[in-house]
Amino acid sequence: MPIPRRYTTEAIVLSRFDFGEADRILTLITPGAGKIKVIAKGIRRPTSRIGGSLEPFAELQVALARGRTFEVVTQVVVEHAWLNLRDSLESAATAWYLAELADRSLEERTAAEPLYTLLRRAYGLLDAGMAPGRVARWYEMHLADELGVRPEVDRCVECDRMLEPTETFRWVPALGGVLCEKHPAPPSFRVDLSLEALKLLKAYQRMDAEALAGLRLNDAVEREVEAALREFVRHVLERDPRSLAFLDEVRVARPV
């Protein structure tokens, strides 16, 4: 079906940069059209009607007109502002990280309803006060699912044998998950995965977000799973997300 000349869609801002004297170019995720680039003309002028509303961390209703290179934004209505999410620098930095992962995962103009729903849900969870680290892990695990690369945490990726709680596990993103102790460790391999971390990885696949929010967890195990999933995401996206450096800075600066 051809895209009509003017249309309205739900959207979340993934990234943006200033362009020319007063314009801004934004990357949006939309349920039906996937990732699209749009231009907001004159948005940086004080008189702009859309200036205050075309912002990240909000679900927007955006009216667009087809342009030669980019769609042109003609109107914006804020549907969900997720204002609490902005109160903490860590949750805002996490929101940027989640947006960047979505941006990197999507081709332009390919429908992305599951990913849109996932990002919207993650922002809702951050806004509701769920620990940003747990929202990020939950999101990374579900993003991998959506991309068709669900990490294997039940069976050995090499021999397909069910993993036993008494053995040694190796986390090997390049092979897609956990490798059992019967095989020689691959060159990329760094550290064993603890049984607790393996259980937490399974929990991120199986438990709903509310249940994950309420788990009492050891910090060291959370850090282990964070490192494991980051490594997995880096492998899938073939590079380090840029927003991670900022997120790590914010967390170092966080008062304890």
Helix (H/G/I), strand (E/B), else coil: 146: helix
Q: Which is nearer to Zn ion, 38 or 163 (CB)?
A: 163
At closest approach, how far in Å is the CB of 144 from Zn ion? Answer: 21
| Token pair for 217 | 């967890």
**CB 163, min distance to Zn ion, A:** 8
* First-to-final CA distance of the chain: 54
Helix, strand, or coil (residue 231): helix
Among 180, 193, 201, 233, binds Zn ion (CB under 5 A): 180
Residue from 33, 58, 64, 156 in contact with Zn ion (CB under 5 A): 156
99 contributes a contact to Zn ion by CB under 5 A: no
The values of phi and psi at residue 112, to 5°, are -140, 40
Tell me the helices (H) and strands (E) count for the chain, helix number first: 7, 8
Rg value, the chain, Cα? 20
Contacts of Zn ion in 220-239 (CB under 5 A): none
Q: Is 185 in the site for Zn ion (CB under 5 A)?
A: no
Q: How far is the CB of 120 from Zn ion (least distance, A)?
A: 38
Mark the segment that binds Zn ion (CB under 5 A) among 55-63, 135-143, 165-173, 176-184: 176-184
Work out whether 158 is an interface residue with Zn ion (CB under 5 A). Answer: yes
Burial, 71: exposed, middle or buried (Cβ in 10 Å; 0-12, 13-18, 19+)? buried
Supply 234's token pair. Answer: 């880096």
Q: How far is the CB of 172 from Zn ion (least distance, A)?
A: 11
Give the separation between CA 177 and CA 170, rounded to whole angstroms: 8
Residue nearest to Zn ion (CB): 156
Distance in angstroms (rounded) separating the CA atoms of residues 168 and 189: 13
# chain residues binding Zn ion, by CB under 5 A? 5
Stretch that binds Zn ion, among 38-46, 129-137, 155-163, 241-249 (CB under 5 A): 155-163
Return the number of the residue (143 or 156) whose C-beta is nearest Zn ion. Answer: 156
Does the footprint of Zn ion cover residue 159 (CB under 5 A)? Answer: yes
**Interface with Zn ion, residue 191, by CB under 5 A:** no
User: Tokens 């869609």 correspond to what residue?
Assistant: 9
Retrieve residue 211's tokens. Answer: 């249940």
Footprint of Zn ion (CB under 5 A): 156, 158-159, 180, 182
